[in-house]
Amino acid sequence: MQTIINTKVPEFKAQVYHKNEFRTVTNKDIEGKWAVFFFYPADFTFVCPTELVDVAEKYEEFKKMGVEVYSVSTDTHFTHKAWHDTSESIKKINYPMLADPTGALSRAFGVYIEEEGLAYRGTFLVDPDGKIKLAEVQDNGIGRNADELLRKVQAAQFIRNHPNEVCPAKWKPGADTLKPGLDLVGKI
């Protein structure tokens, strides 16, 4: 397996459902910005709405940090709208819901399940240079935590602004960071 960390986000063009409208989004739309791609298997399922609502409840915090969130499934933008219109939980979503019915974007990020036509739960953070800085993929029965994703985005943004420092485990803004060097070897 090859990693996609620090590779450029693939070129893409997709329909999104967002704020009661359909529109086209491309990789050009994220240039110069932070973006989270939050892949999930399918609309009208079970774990997915719990995760999507969890992210929706943190969406304003992501926006304040200059991060756009895109949920992505292999459903169409029409299905996203129907789910949004019929589910009280999904009505809480204010971020773009990206449609990937051909699986092209899911394949490009390495989360497509060929025999099912669905995506694994994949989370990817793209920096303003278009490079993937975080890549996590898990089995579809395991839900994710928006608080932890928010913390990781904060760490990635800190590191971008402080390239000579690193964030230790459980780091949160305001906590101590580390400056790698010989003086730290064997002392942590």
Rounded to the nearest 5 percent, the helix, strand and coil shares of the chain are: 30, 25, 45
Per annotation, catalytic residue among 35, 36, 48, 132? 48
User: pLDDT at position 187, please?
Assistant: 63
User: pLDDT at position 184, please?
Assistant: 64
Q: How do beta strands 21-26 and 13-18 pair?
A: antiparallel
Q: What is the pLDDT of residues 121-137, one digit of tens each?
A: 999 999 999 999 999 99
Q: What is the pLDDT of residues 52-82, one digit of tens each?
A: 999 999 999 999 999 999 999 999 999 999 9
User: pLDDT at position 55, please?
Assistant: 98
User: pLDDT at position 186, please?
Assistant: 65
Nearest to residue 35, comparing CAs of 1, 2, 8, 17?
A: 8
Q: What's the average model confidence in pLDDT over 43-54?
A: 96
Q: What is the pLDDT of residues 95-122, one digit of tens each?
A: 999 999 999 999 999 999 999 999 999 9
Q: What is the pLDDT of residues 170-182, one digit of tens each?
A: 999 999 998 877 6
For residue 97, what are the β-bridge partners? 17, 71
Label residue 185 by pLDDT band (50, 70, 90). Answer: low
Q: What is the pLDDT of residues 2-42, one digit of tens each?
A: 899 999 999 999 999 999 999 999 999 999 999 999 999 99
Q: How far apart are CA 183 and CA 70, in angstroms?
A: 42
Q: How far apart are CA 46 and CA 150, in angstroms?
A: 23
48 catalytic? Reply is: yes
Domains in the chain and their CATH numbers? 13-144 (3.40.30.10)
Report CA torsion sign: 158, 159, 165, 170: positive
Label residue 145 by pLDDT band (50, 70, 90). Answer: very high
Q: Which two tokens stand for residue 154?
A: 């904060």
Nearest to residue 129, comparing CAs of 9, 41, 10?
A: 9
